[in-house]
Amino acid sequence: MMSVVTFLSDFGLKDAYVAQVKAVILSGIPDARIIDITHDIAPFIIISAGWLLAKSFRFFPPSTVHLVVVDPGVGTGRAILTMRKEEHVFVGPDNGIFSFLYPADDVREVTWRPEGAVSSTFHGRDIFAPLVVKMLTGHGLPMQGMPKADPVSLDVKSPMVVHIDTFGNVITNIGCDHLRQRCLISIGEKDIDHVVHSFAEIPQGKIGLICGSASTVEIVANQANAAVILGAEVGMSISVH
């Protein structure tokens, strides 16, 4: 069976970082299929990366390995994790990036390191990618490492902005059921209660609330950037009334 690996990072595509990580994986597993979730995460924005991972992994087949490298603590003593959830395997830093996925079926801290030089600034290429190869070339996709009872977990239950997409839509972790209750959402100094089913129902340049594709409330504008209008940022608190 072909090995499927997803890759999510904040590396962007200007540099060769993404290509080098893929090269290491393909050197060990030439027939691996590597699918990019995104590499356009704003640098160091762990919440946004974790949200996109959590809302994407179920679309892939069981036994997919999901590599996520948004790692502002690279080169420090932060742990490296492997995790299993719903027949999927995840590899990434222990910095809260898996917070939207907890509780998981199994979480482990990896102390294994590959032979040879390891750059203190590029663990994605020198540790994470070889770890993916090691896991996929082992029998039965074994989890690596010792059980980890206390991985870093961010507070992602409180109402907040979890992602801002290319269009400037402000994506929240608030369930769409609130929209059926005629809720009022406050973000910054702005109160919003205009609920719509399509962008076209909002006057051009104005703000509204819509149920997004992840089944959570999105604050959107018609042919305008809602995040810019509101001054919204990932992690910003939201009030629901």
pTM above 0.85, yes or no: yes
Instruction: Please report, for residues 48, 49, 168, 210, the alpha-carbon distance to residue 9 in angstroms, rounded to integers and kept in the order given.
Output: 11, 7, 20, 28
Rounded CA-CA distance 32/136 in Å is: 9
Domain boundaries, the chain: 4-147, 161-240
Per-residue model confidence (pLDDT) at position 2: 75
- Topology match between the domains 4-147 and 161-240: no
Per-residue model confidence (pLDDT) at position 45: 97
**Residue 135 and residue 141 in contact, taking contact as beta carbons nearer than 8 Å:** yes
Q: Which CATH superfamily is domain 161-240 in?
A: Bacterial fluorinating enzyme like (2.40.30.90)
Residuewise pLDDT in 10s, the chain (241 residues): 679 999 999 999 999 999 999 999 999 999 999 999 999 999 999 999 999 999 999 999 999 999 999 999 999 999 999 999 999 999 999 999 999 999 999 999 999 999 989 999 999 999 999 999 999 997 555 677 899 999 999 999 999 999 999 999 999 999 999 898 778 999 998 999 999 999 999 999 899 999 999 999 999 999 999 999 999 999 999 999 8
CATH code: domain 4-147 is 3.40.50.10790
Give the model confidence (pLDDT) of 48-92 as tens digits.
Answer: 999 999 999 999 999 999 999 999 999 999 999 999 999 999 999
93-96: which pairs have CB atoms within 8 A and are 24 or more residues apart? 93/69, 93/123, 94/148, 94/151, 94/152, 95/46, 95/70, 95/71, 95/152, 96/46, 96/47, 96/50, 96/152, 96/153, 96/154
- Which of 123, 88, 126 has the alpha carbon at shortest distance from 104? 88
